[in-house]
Amino acid sequence: MIDLALLGCGGGMPIPERYLSSLLINYVGKKILIDCGEGTQVSMKLLGWGFKTIDIICITHGHGDHIVGLPGLLSTIGNSGRTDPLTIIGPEGIDNIINGLRVIFPYLPYELNIIENPKTSITIGNAREGEIILSTLNLDHSSPCLGYSFYIKRKPKFDVEKATSNNVPRHLWNRLQKNEVILQDNITYYPSMVLGNDRKGIKISYITDTRPVKDINFFIKDSDILFCEGTYGNEEDIEKAIKNKHMTFREAAEIADNGEVNELVLTHFSPAMLNPSIYLENATNIFSNTILGEDRLIKTINFKD
């Protein structure tokens, strides 16, 4: 089970009842934060999800509506008593951005590990507690910008028949199921000797501040949930979307449809769009399972079998 909280769904500038871009993923007690616009800490405090256990912060790009909340959050995490290292992942230039912001927080009681524009997928966690495969995609915005996907792997089921046929002693079953490799009586026992086939995991994708690019369709394919920008709801604003390198509701829905995702959550609304619901049909006419994001929207996704 994975819990998701859309902490802020605004773009550009905060307005009453709408903070700026941020999404929090909570899985087996660990948290991943995506973007940290103004209001991120307030939403987290209102939800009561806690700050200390944020292990990774993923930044899409360096524009203020996605990072201005970062200095305060990092300081709050330090004040919470954290001493373990914290990882920040971002596009080209993120190292310079973080170092510039450090003028505001010159001291932290924990180490920052900054990963700039990762070229390969990153595995978070371990097989025993649960693994998350983090992948990135370069997007088309006015500054270097990354899209993110997270694949939460699922442990295979324990297979009694397989364990028995492999003559695995019963007292080792539990440890092997927890992915231990055990040497006993000169025999090595592997988890594969008691576990069945891999099971489908959960995929979460986050795409914001970009024009549609073909690579997005494959990148988000078969996502259980896609959080995607819909900066403009009205199709009459398409020229603005092209000029500012953003998307409309319709374009986001086309991406969701092409990527065969299960659910689309629209976010990153322009401050000029006070009532996004007026334009929701522009998306649902193309991709029916579309909802509007709102601050502190909670989504829980369960494994399917």
- pLDDT tens digits, residue range 212-256? 999 999 999 999 999 999 999 999 999 999 999 999 999 999 999
Q: What is the pLDDT of residue 128?
A: 65
Same domain, 108 and 219: yes
Global pTM exceeds 0.85: yes
| Residue that is last in its domain, among 145, 170, 197 | 197
Q: What average pLDDT does the chain have?
A: 93
Q: pLDDT tens digits for 254-295?
A: 999 999 999 999 999 999 999 999 999 999 999 999 999 999
Work out how many domains the chain is built from and give that number.
2
Which domain covers residue 184, as residue numbers?
157-197
Q: Tell me which residue of 8, 108, 122, 131 sits closest to 65, measured CA to CA.
A: 8
Same domain, 181 and 46: no
Same domain, 76 and 225: yes
Q: Helix or strand or coil: residue 255?
A: helix
The residues assigned a catalytic role are 65
Confidence of residue 180 (pLDDT cuts 50, 70, 90): confident
Same domain, 183 and 226: no
Same domain, 279 and 136: yes
Q: pLDDT tens digits for 68-126?
A: 999 999 999 999 999 999 999 999 999 999 999 999 998 999 999 999 999 889 988 77
- Distance between CA 138 and CA 90 in Å, rounded? 11
Same domain, 27 and 6: yes
- Distance between CA 82 and CA 70 in Å, rounded? 16
Same domain, 176 and 257: no
Residues 60-90 as b/e (b if ≥16 CB within 10 A, e otherwise) read bbbbebbbbbbbebbebbbeeebeeebbbbb
Same domain, 147 and 17: yes
When pLDDT is averaged across residues 206-210 and rounded to a whole number, the result is 97
Q: What is the pLDDT of residue 155?
A: 79
- The edge-to-edge listing of strands for the beta sheet with 297-301 is 112-116, 86-90, 54-58, 30-34, 22-27, 2-8, 297-301
Same domain, 89 and 169: no
Same domain, 135 and 221: yes
Q: Tell me which residue of 287, 233, 241 sits closest to 264, measured CA to CA.
A: 287
- Distance between CA 264 and CA 200 in Å, rounded? 20
| Residue that is last in its domain, among 171, 197, 223 | 197
When pLDDT is averaged across residues 53-59 and rounded to a whole number, the result is 95
